[in-house]
Amino acid sequence: MNSVTEFSPAKINLLLAVTGCRADGYHDLVSVVAPLNFGDELVAESCARASGPQFTLSCAQPAVPLDESNLIFKAAQAFGAATGWQGGVHFKLTKRIPLGSGLGGGSSNAIAALRALDKISGGLLTTEQWSALAATLGSDCALFLNPTPSLMRGRGEKIEQLSAAARARLSGRRVLLFKPRFSINTAWAYQQMRQCATDYVPVGLAEKQVAAWLDGSKPAEQLLANNMERVAFDKFIALPVLLNKLRTQFGVEGRMSGSGSACFVFLSEEQASAPLLQCIRACWGAAAFGQETRLS
């Protein structure tokens, strides 16, 4: 196989409860997370290796790093180290997921790179290696091994698929994503939470909230929560102001995804997205990102 094309989906955190800081510096969390039908595209092309690097990357978006800081490179290098495969590959990334948005684009790209390399190499990765590599590459990576609405625990590496009944309340729901021109640094957001430990949600309370939703029949709107919003909203007032405006003017319920700065609202099947996008760009400027999609 000389060329492989992989879809690299975005995700949103429907519920995100950061429950405390771990001894290793990461944070524990409980989160209900759902992949989207919207995302990036990664093409991997096998190439001869006369000399030079084993892996190369190109992307038309100037803001995307093309060096080893990109998770695509880290995933490719981890694949080579785990399997001993020596072939060369050039990656072409079509980037649609905004950078610094809390939509999981980097983690999703990393798993897409592993999928492409595994196909090109003839399927070298074992089941155990898939899980191990995902855990080492990033906290969100495990979700994208089997992208479906899931319950995430630990620092994000522990994934439990939702029941069929719970997935049915989520899958296919219309979602409007939107993001201002600015991003929120994830490390900064978690550092702010460390400094104000009262922002943490007790793990028992988070689990109780999730269990109550899973055991019932309430729609996705009744699940929405994110305790990272406090630190983000205190600094970036444009986020809560717009979410409140959309709630009062259009009757939609939304949240910030992950550490932000992207937000989302659910839309009914009859509701037009154009008036909401017009409102978003009137508040945040014409360059604000907006994308209608659905939960996978």
Considering the segment(s) 3-161 as one domain, its CATH architecture is 2-Layer Sandwich (3.30)
Tokens representing 87?
């072939």
Q: What is the mean pLDDT of the chain?
A: 95
pLDDT in tens, 73-107: 999 999 999 999 999 999 999 999 999 999 999 99
Using an 8 Å Cβ cutoff, are 246 and 263 in contact? no
Q: What is the pLDDT of residue 1?
A: 65
Please confirm whether the linkage preceding 261 is cis (ω < 30° from 0): yes
Considering the segment(s) 169-294 as one domain, its CATH architecture is 2-Layer Sandwich (3.30)
CB proximity list for 153: less than 8 A, separation 6 or greater: 28, 29, 30, 31, 160
Q: What is the pLDDT of residue 248?
A: 97
Q: Is the pTM of this model over 0.85?
A: yes
How buried is 237 (Cβ within 10 angstroms: 0-12 exposed, 13-18 middle, 19+ buried)? exposed
Q: Which residues are catalytic?
A: 11, 140
For CA atoms 236, 109, 5, 88, give the dihedral sign: positive
pLDDT in tens, 256-292: 999 999 999 999 999 999 999 999 999 999 999 999 9
What is the C-alpha separation between 225 and 254, in angstroms, rounded? Answer: 9
Q: What is the pLDDT of residue 124?
A: 96
- If one counts every other C-beta atom within 10 angstroms of the C-beta of residue 139, the result is 20
Q: How far is CA 136 from CA 101, 139, 211, 231, 256, in A?
A: 21, 8, 29, 27, 26
Q: What is the pLDDT of residue 49?
A: 75
pLDDT in tens, 30-60: 999 999 999 999 999 999 877 789 999 999 9
When pLDDT is averaged across residues 105-124 and rounded to a whole number, the result is 97
pLDDT in tens, 216-235: 999 999 999 999 999 999 99
Q: What is the pLDDT of residue 48?
A: 81
Residue ranges per structural domain of the chain: 3-161, 169-294
